[in-house]
Structure formats: C-alpha cells, structure tokens
C-alpha cells in the first residue's frame, strides 16, 4: 500500500530516498489555510508536509528565511519544497512539543526569538509580493459593530472608531512580522529551543503586533503583562546596543492597541464559526478593554 500516493511524485521520491518507507500519514486538524497539513512518520523520523493554495508561507521558507541568521534557529528546518500549477508544497521539521501553558505569558525565550527576528529584519523590504497587509479601516470597524447587540453597539461605537484612528501607527512597516504569534503557534525542540511555525501572514508592520499576539486572550486589565513584555523586549534591544525608536510607554501603548486590533480582526474573520457563549464573551471583554484604553 502506497501511503504517499496523495502527494506529488517528486515529493514521494524525495521522502522515500531520504527516510525510507513511511509508517503512517496523519492529516492534522485545526489548520486554517487552504490546502492541508500532514505528519508523516518513518521508522525513526517524522516530518510535516504542508500543501498551500496561496504561496506566502512557501515563499517565506524559500525566499525570506535566508536573510535571518540568528532567528533561523527559531524556524522549522526546510527539507524540501516545490510548486505546481495549483499548489505549493513544503516538507519541514516536525517540532515534537507544544509550548506549555505555563509559558504563555512573557516567556523569555519567545521574546528573545522575536527580538532576533525583528532586529534582523528591521527596515528591510520583504523579498516577496502579495503578502498579507494588516489594516484597520472603517469597513472592519463597521463590520464588527454589527456583531454587538444594539445597546452595546451604541456604547462602543465612538470608542472603536477612536481606537481605529490611533491604531494606524501599528501599520508603519518598521520590520517583518509573523502576525500570528499566538502561543499555539510555538513549539519546542528536544534541545529546548523554541520554534515559531505558521508563516501564512508574513508581513511588515510594528513589532508590537507580534508582541501583543503572544498574549492569550485580551491581555490584562492592569497592563501588568503588557508592561512586562515591553520591559523584557526593550532590555534585549538595549543589551545588544541597538537603537529602538519606541520608548517604554510608546511600546506599551502599541501593544495594547495591537491586541485590540487583533481581537477585532479575529471577530470579523471568525464570528460565523464561534459558538454563542464565546462570541458574547469576546464582545464583552472587548468592550471592557475599550473603556480601559480611554
């Protein structure tokens, strides 16, 4: 039985010649991007295979990672890649462990990895086209306002537009960002190093976007986690004797704004698939954070 028959012939040849015959092929769930993601296990090794309809993640591995020296260790190793008329394929390192929940808040290794990523890509243009561009425009604000009950909508409308206007500073292309750095997109190798996977949203914007998305939920009401992240991150820039254009207060403010933007975008993209209680909980928490922000 050919367990690899669903994959391109040249990929099958590479896998068999490199690792032998596979033991099993599992399709992984929870992958949002079009295409598919698979874990292929061999007798003493396993790899991840990703199929994509859009090329952004494929192009990140093929064209972008070569410009990242220190951060390269925090990216899955690329073993093989190809593209045909309809799909883009990559074979990458299988990261064995998830980032444990007790490390979901201002983890030193996670922030150090992002520091290396942002500093190495500072003021560099992405060598790819048609990449994801984060934005917050009137259309997004109005779409999310429609998700609120009438009474709540009247309460938050002016606040939401005010945050939208202030958040435009987030989209200045300071450096490359991953834009999907949530804790579930980090893994740990057997040697303890952290790895960031899922690069469909590679982009250029403020580093605060990546920093904010590392926080689970909507962050903290007293800004304690946001401030801790800002302090640790800025300390890394200072220790490396590199100039960083944000003060602690400016970075803290951008982290808070970026978290609000990420929640607004998430609601707009996912409201139809959220259960009622989760939907209402997010709207309530977003309202509280908007009032806290001003």
Average of per-residue pLDDT across 140-145:
97
pLDDT band at residue 193 using 50, 70 and 90 as cut-offs: very high
What DSSP assignment string belongs to 247-263?
-HHHHHHHHHHHHHHHH
Residue 53: Cβ within 10 Å count: 11
pLDDT in tens, 228-285: 999 999 999 999 999 999 999 999 999 999 999 999 999 999 999 999 999 999 999 9
Characterize the bridge pairing of strands 186-188 and 194-196. Answer: antiparallel
Residue 162: Cβ within 10 Å count: 13
For residue 45, give the 3-state DSSP assignment: coil
| pTM, full prediction | 0.95
Per-residue model confidence (pLDDT) at position 293: 82
Per-residue model confidence (pLDDT) at position 217: 92
Domains and CATH numbers, the chain: 9-94 (3.30.200.20), 101-293 (3.90.1200.10)
Per-residue model confidence (pLDDT) at position 1: 61
Is the pLDDT assigned to residue 67 strictly greater than 70?
yes
Could you tell me which residues come within 8 angstroms of residue 237 by beta carbon, excluding any fewer than 6 positions away? 115, 119, 243, 244
pLDDT in tens, 199-240: 999 999 999 999 999 999 999 999 999 999 999 999 999 999
Burial of 83 (0-12, 13-18, 19+ CB in 10 A): middle
pLDDT in tens, 79-110: 999 998 889 999 999 999 999 999 999 999 99
Per-residue model confidence (pLDDT) at position 227: 98
Ramachandran quadrant class, 35 (left: phi over 0; alpha: psi -120 to 50; beta: rest): left
Torsion on CA atoms 107, 108, 109, 115, rounded to nearest 10: 110
């Amino acid at each position: 039985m050919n367990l690899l028959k669903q994959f391109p012939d040249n990929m099958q040849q590479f896998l068999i010649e490199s690792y032998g015959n596979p033991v099993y092929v599992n399709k992984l769930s929870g992958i949002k991007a079009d295409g598919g993601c698979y874990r292929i296990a061999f007798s003493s090794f396993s790899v991840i295979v990703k199929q994509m309809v859009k090329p952004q993640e494929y192009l990140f591995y093929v064209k972008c990672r070569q410009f990242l020296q220190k951060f390269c260790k925090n990216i899955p190793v690329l073993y093989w890649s190809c593209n045909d008329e309809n799909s883009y394929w990559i074979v990458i390192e299988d990261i064995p462990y998830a980032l444990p929940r007790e490390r979901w808040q201002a983890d030193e290794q996670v922030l150090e990895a992002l520091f290396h990523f942002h500093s190495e890509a500072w003021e560099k243009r992405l060598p790819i086209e048609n990449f994801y561009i984060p934005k917050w425009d009137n259309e997004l604000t109005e779409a999310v306002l429609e998700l609120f009950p009438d009474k709540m909508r009247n309460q938050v409308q002016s606040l939401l537009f005010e945050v939208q206007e202030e958040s435009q500073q987030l989209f200045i292309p300071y450096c490359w960002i991953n834009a999907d750095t949530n804790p579930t997109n980090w893994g740990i190798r057997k040697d303890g190093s952290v790895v960031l996977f899922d690069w469909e949203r590679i982009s250029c914007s403020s580093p605060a976007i990546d920093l904010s998305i590392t926080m689970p939920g909507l962050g903290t009401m007293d800004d304690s986690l946001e401030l801790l992240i800002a302090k640790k991150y800025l300390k890394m820039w200072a220790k490396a004797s590199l100039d960083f254009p944000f003060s602690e207060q400016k970075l803290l403010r951008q982290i808070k704004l970026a978290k609000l933007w990420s929640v607004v975008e998430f609601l707009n993209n996912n409201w139809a698939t959220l259960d009622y209680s989760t939907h209402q909980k997010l709207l309530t928490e977003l309202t509280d954070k908007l009032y806290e922000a001003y």
